[in-house]
Structure 1
């Protein structure tokens, strides 16, 4: 039976984790005519993304890269080289830099308060400015490809992470209450939480990190491909081998994590960002790691923090929220989250003022 390569990412992470429990953390498979290196340990992942990072900086030429990657010219699917480096530079320095993110959050606040739509034009205007300066390079296809990557990589992934996180919180109301108390102590009830507060909310950050560990929205990282022969875990890896990193297996491995299926945000105390060495890499690593990590963590933190600050949340019944994984590239929940909420009495005045300003 022939299985399309793209279909593998829909249902393989858990199966491969079970397979590698018997075969080991470094396995070389043969998918039709394509060799595939499957790794599911921090040490093997570190070897791929440090010593062999340049070798594994390529992308395999899969059908999805041709269809959604504008014939392999987009940031996500372009081969490693000058074109990819230029797109990465634009994304990292011009679109997702700290200064640009701060501008974005200022615009976002203005949009919420004044229903101003000037943010929605900023990014497109910037890219069209580049097209004016160099029309031969910044063709419509390049601009559309960059926009497509930002939309695909930043919509379902962020939405799914927030849904998984809220589901975990509703199943653990004591943790939800602790997060609410942290926000009350830091922000109070006289203003809405803003982006500058996030650095002072470590427990909220730990909650997000733990959710990303348990339910990574990219359970199999976007595949890489070796541009030369190399060694991983002492094994010879031929040139042209597709690399698949099973992050679900690494981040839920009982040999690596104590009680991995238990929701314990405190395990990330003192850990920088969402990483814990190579034990947790929800955004990938190395040259092809996700450049939108900073934006994603800020957006998730700001949205979740605001909802926790302003509303009381509870399950619609005494039944525990269904935490089964669905099928999809970004691992959605099998059953969409349904929750009950009502404004917190201490926030009613501020919420009323905000609504009046919007009107």
Structure 2
């Protein structure tokens, strides 16, 4: 009897798999039949069912560079039954994000991303325009960023103080000037997450001042899981059969991640609504205050989606570039010394650097610009999708086509940049690069609304680290600049460094 039941189970699975495979093939054939008369961009040979999925290797932006070099600046690919175009020239990028900006304003709805109503994932619609306006005007305007300046400054003060105290604990008479090893990625990621959580909800995710340790730990795991899952090239997103079977557990884990984040943020909103705003100046409180006049526009759902968007989008967009900048500076010590000399001359050693100092620190700004040129936050941007059929350079792009703009490749174009692979902050000095094409935060109406906040944070954090500490590599070898894969662009190997407090900053570090 048991054997019979086992045979029936196997038969059922085989029937389901065959049915789903048939659907996948039918979908692909219908798409090809519908578009076989269109003049599509050049394309490599495709496989049945899979299309060009077999060509995709990590890091994806490097795979697409190879494809573009062989087939041209606009290339057509099929990810199973989902069409895509790859753009690798600034001229075509300008067309897509200016002339055709509205046509490409939808987002690709991937099944592994189970929060389709975030600012970054929602399709172009009245809802998206509404939440985008709240984020841009009410939360991330220059006026609001200025109002939240002290919160960012306090978190950075706390970080440098903790680094100083940690070093001091291990210092002794036998090694008074020793360099201590530091997990730089962990330090910066925790800092940026704390800054965003304090700005959004008035709570920290890391450190000693945690209110509910167990719940916070669960939320941290969910946030980390989101970055891991959304950053991967999930084949399940393109093949329904794999999506339903979920052999790698991607869908199950993303469901858990989504539930934890939504439940935690909803609980925070409820607490803030019940407690009243008082003297707090968080983004949630700001939205609750505005909601007193129009609850529909500031419902809990809207507030929750905006809060999650800003938390996820505002942390890695700052943390990754800071890690890249430090890695580049350690491999280019002359640039690190030049930045320190500038900070010492303009800020001194009697106080910590402030955001307002940025206007007097042009070389520090050049370092940040050059870092973002070489290693943009999202090398392919967040994928766009066409809302209608579009004509580009004489090619017919079908409705529902995914757009991947290889910003990484464009910002290293030798026709635009001299010695494009070389780290040269000086190329941005004195307006030398004015008018040269860069879009590390995207372009057009889907451009990242948190760019100003990210730039402020990068300047202040990197400036404080350079001002307060001496930095060295782990050994004589250069830092490995191999790139990881994902939606954002991490170092393949988390950066570890050696540091020690600067003697001229000791008095200040004792006080913060």
Give me the TM-score of the superposition, normalised by structure 2: 0.63
Inter-partner Cα distance in structure 2 for 1:90 and 1:270: 35
1:260 matches 2:420? yes
1:193 matches 2:353? yes
Inter-partner Cα distance in structure 1 for 2:155 and 2:429: 34
1:75 matches 2:116? no
CA displacement at 1:268 relative to structure 2: 1.8
1:42-57 equivalences in 2 (<5 Å): 42-57=90-105
Q: CA 1:18 to 1:255, structure 2 compared with 1: closer, same or farther past 3 Å?
A: farther
Inter-partner Cα distance in structure 2 for 1:113 and 1:266: 29
CA displacement at 1:130 relative to structure 2: 4.1
1:323 to 465, 481, 484: 481
Q: CA 1:4 to 1:44, structure 2 compared with 1: closer, same or farther past 3 Å?
A: closer
SS at match of 1:336: coil
Q: CA 1:146 to 1:19, structure 2 compared with 1: closer, same or farther past 3 Å?
A: same
CA displacement at 1:17 relative to structure 2: 0.5
Contact 2:383 2:403 in 1 (8 A): yes
CA displacement at 1:229 relative to structure 2: 2.1
Contact 1:26 1:233 in 2 (8 A): no
Contact 1:229 1:238 in 2 (8 A): yes
1:144 to 289, 295, 304: 304
SS at match of 1:56: coil
Please name the residue that 1:305 is paired with. 463
1:27 matches 2:27? no
SS at match of 1:73: coil
SS at match of 2:77: strand
Contact 1:217 1:330 in 2 (8 A): yes
Inter-partner Cα distance in structure 1 for 2:119 and 2:450: 12
Inter-partner Cα distance in structure 2 for 1:323 and 1:289: 27
Please name the residue that 2:385 is paired with. 225
Q: Which of the pair has more CA radius of gyration?
A: 2
1:63 matches 2:111? yes
Contact 1:10 1:329 in 2 (8 A): no
Contact 1:36 1:243 in 2 (8 A): yes
SS at match of 1:63: coil
CA displacement at 1:19 relative to structure 2: 1.1
Q: CA 1:142 to 1:64, structure 2 compared with 1: closer, same or farther past 3 Å?
A: farther
Please name the residue that 1:106 is paired with. 150
SS at match of 1:283: coil
1:244 matches 2:404? yes
Deviations 1:62-103 (A, max 9, x none): 2244x1x2xx22211211121111111111111100011111
Q: CA 1:118 to 1:48, structure 2 compared with 1: closer, same or farther past 3 Å?
A: closer
1:95 to 139, 144, 156: 139
CA displacement at 1:328 relative to structure 2: 2.4
Please name the residue that 1:212 is paired with. 372
1:286 to 427, 444, 450: 444
- What count of residue pairs does the alignment treat as equivalent? 347
Inter-partner Cα distance in structure 2 for 1:4 and 1:134: 48
Q: CA 1:140 to 1:332, structure 2 compared with 1: closer, same or farther past 3 Å?
A: same
Report the aligned-residue RMSD.
2.6
Which one is further off, 122-131 or 319-328? 122-131
SS at match of 1:290: coil
Of Structure 1 and Structure 2, the greater helix share is in: 2
Inter-partner Cα distance in structure 2 for 1:56 and 1:205: 32
Segments of structure 1 that go 5 or more residues without pairing to the other structure are: 355-359
Please name the residue that 1:357 is paired with. none
Q: CA 1:113 to 1:343, structure 2 compared with 1: closer, same or farther past 3 Å?
A: closer
Please name the residue that 1:37 is paired with. 85
SS at match of 2:107: coil
Segments of structure 2 that go 5 or more residues without pairing to the other structure are: 1-48, 160-196, 203-279
Please name the residue that 1:182 is paired with. 342
